Chains A and B, each alone.
Chain A
């Protein structure tokens, strides 16, 4: 306190101190307001059903029960365990597809010289602006003709063909920052294009590949529209689709079970958030991703 008093003699420092208390108070209140609904949902998944309807605003259940998790897990003809396994498989495959395909294509754009490169690059950037809806219906017709509807193939195969140009762009930006001398030296030593890609560029690109893999995983995990139109067999449902079906089938009668399954569906993304927060935030700050 003394230090502050002595500063106040100069008439400058006292205000920032009080202001920082006010600022922190406001920020803490705002953060709480932001996450309160989620905390309330967690509490709702743990409290007895009647208590949710009791109009409670508290985030501390009067008694804790995991009944909702058990009942919700088996709430549909197919268990949520299956949905989770499906989502995990699709998301992991999509991540791998996006990273493998986008890094190869990005390598061509950033490090190789070939006829028509700038033309293709411009086209690739152009597809970033093309809304998905414009290609949606013919894609559906195509997948139907191929007999792929009601399988995971429409959700996974396009990722292996780098259809989401965003990831190419992300990785190109990174590759271009790598010093040119590296691949030039390797080239002079007789290293093949594949060798440069595999032994020189990729090992240096851990951060950007991780960013691509993580965002790809999260976006696929949260994707609702794709599974909604392509998957109709409940055994193939993703978590998002299972959850949506659960809402429709149970209506408002079993909120605690809905909450329980909703919370579980958020757990993988939340874990990624906990462990890869810096990657996520840097990814957004440097590339301007929308989420």
Chain B
């Protein structure tokens, strides 16, 4: 690592060979930085940029891991856009999942955060309990639990039975299976709740006091002060949660046994991508699917940022 950051080398006595000395000095100045950066540079080249470019290339090919990739032009994308009912099904499922789970999750997170933020006793305990599902929720164990909760003879139906209602098998009924997964996602509202709580704690007290003195009701204060001031945090949570929801995989895989069934009702986008890549070994097609996902997420993000100036309040 040498004498790294410092570049106070003693002046050379003889007249230096200029380019070489310059090079040496530049090396001394930059070497420590690049040495510390080295792991990332290597990982970036080998595991990020290289593969990203390679998958862009593969998306224009037929590739089955055995024979060399064969260029097919736009065929994969054309098929995605026009002739793949499973793609259409997976987009449908994923969009419903995103559109339902994200707003519901954020609404729960915000409501509970508002309640907890009123200087309530036992805040740390409540916060911890509400956060726990968020922490455990993405594991296979919870998906297993969900599969049993909403099975024909599961806990949900046992509870409904007490009220004299015989529920269906939620998991294996294509009309309901996706909604059990929406519920699983909403159940994990804990981490956006914590982010909301952190945001609420920054709220300027004097503004509320002034509003109270002016006779603004609590409801009015919420819509006119809290919501606008919190909008950057809502915006952030919405983006993070949406991207995450687009990429959901584990619960659908475990609940449907990897099939996305019944009748493609839980065929999440990433699950379909997985099936194409590692079930059918259509690596070229799966790469195209990955880039379509990338484009969807990018479009969503750009759209959010463009519209954000109409509904996100920034101080300056």
Q: How far is the CA of A23 from the CA of B188 in the complex (A)?
A: 21
Would you give the shortest CB distance from A155 to chain B, in whole angstroms? 12
- Mark the stretch among A4-12, A62-70, A121-129, A203-211 that contacts chain B: A121-129
**A:214-243 near B, CB below 8 Å:** 218, 221-222, 224-225, 228-229, 239-241, 243
Q: Are A135 and B47 in contact (CB-based, < 8 A)?
A: yes
With A115-B30, A284-B195 as known contacts, state yes or no: A137 contacts B139, CB within 8 Å: no
Would you give the shortest CB distance from B44 to chain A, in whole angstroms? 7
Q: What per-residue 1/0 map shows which CB atoms of B292-310 lie under 8 Å from chain A?
A: 0110011001000000000
Q: How far is the CA of A192 from the CA of B3 in the complex (A)?
A: 5
Q: How far is the CA of A7 from the CA of B286 in the complex (A)?
A: 69
Q: Are A37 and B140 in contact (CB-based, < 8 A)?
A: no
Q: Are B40 and A162 in contact (CB-based, < 8 A)?
A: yes
Pairs A–B under 8 Å by Cβ, sample size 12: A34-B132, A37-B145, A108-B33, A109-B37, A129-B298, A134-B55, A144-B65, A163-B48, A247-B144, A262-B142, A263-B141, A266-B142
Any chain A CB within 8 A of the CB of B120?
A: yes
Any chain B CB within 8 A of the CB of A55?
A: yes
Contact of A262 among B33, B50, B141 (CB under 8 A): B141
Q: What per-residue 1/0 map shows which CB atoms of B23-35 lie under 8 Å from chain A?
A: 0001001101111
Any chain A CB within 8 A of the CB of B161?
A: yes
Which 10 A-B pairs give the minimum distances between C-beta atoms?
A114-B33, A161-B43, A193-B4, A262-B141, A194-B1, A108-B36, A138-B54, A138-B51, A193-B32, A285-B198
Please name all residues of chain B whose beta carbon is closer than 8 Å to the beta carbon of A187 when the two chains form the complex: 5-6
Any chain B CB within 8 A of the CB of A27?
A: yes
**B:76-117 near A, CB below 8 Å:** 112, 115-116
Please name all residues of chain A whose beta carbon is closer than 8 Å to the beta carbon of B265 when the two chains form the complex: none
| Count of A-B residue pairs with CB < 8 Å | 288
With A24-B120, A161-B39, A192-B3 as known contacts, state yes or no: A229 contacts B278, CB within 8 Å: yes
Any chain B CB within 8 A of the CB of A288?
A: yes
Q: Are A105 and B250 in contact (CB-based, < 8 A)?
A: no
* Chain B residue at minimal CB-CB distance from A194: B1
Q: Are A266 and B136 in contact (CB-based, < 8 A)?
A: yes
With A248-B257, A265-B141, A291-B188 as known contacts, state yes or no: A135 contacts B39, CB within 8 Å: no
Q: Are B162 and A57 in contact (CB-based, < 8 A)?
A: yes
Any chain A CB within 8 A of the CB of B225?
A: no
Any chain B CB within 8 A of the CB of A85?
A: no
Q: Are A288 and B55 in contact (CB-based, < 8 A)?
A: no
With A37-B155, A161-B42, A193-B4 as known contacts, state yes or no: A265 contacts B129, CB within 8 Å: no
Please name all residues of chain A whose beta carbon is closer than 8 Å to the beta carbon of B47 when the two chains form the complex: 135, 139, 158, 161, 163
Interface of B is mostly: helix
Q: How far is the CA of A136 from the CA of B247 in the complex (A)?
A: 13
Q: What per-residue 1/0 map shows which CB atoms of B250-277 lie under 8 Å from chain A?
A: 1001100110000000000010011001
Any chain A CB within 8 A of the CB of B2?
A: yes
Would you give the shortest CB distance from A98 to chain B, in whole angstroms? 11
Any chain B CB within 8 A of the CB of A213?
A: no
Would you give the shortest CB distance from A192 to chain B, in whole angstroms? 4
Any chain B CB within 8 A of the CB of A253?
A: no
Any chain B CB within 8 A of the CB of A120?
A: yes
Q: Which of A108, A124, A259, A263 has the most CB of B within 10 A?
A: A108
Please name all residues of chain B whose beta carbon is closer than 8 Å to the beta carbon of A222 when the two chains form the complex: 138-139
Q: How far is the CA of A239 from the CA of B159 in the complex (A)?
A: 31
- Mark the stretch among B10-18, B206-214, B235-243 that contacts chain A: B235-243
Q: How far is the CA of A115 from the CA of B37 in the complex (A)?
A: 12
Please name all residues of chain A whose beta carbon is closer than 8 Å to the beta carbon of B26 when the two chains form the complex: 115
Contact of B139 among A108, A240, A252, A286 (CB under 8 A): A240
Any chain B CB within 8 A of the CB of A41?
A: yes
Q: Are A124 and B40 in contact (CB-based, < 8 A)?
A: yes
Any chain A CB within 8 A of the CB of B287?
A: yes
Any chain A CB within 8 A of the CB of B179?
A: no
* Chain B residue at minimal CB-CB distance from A107: B36
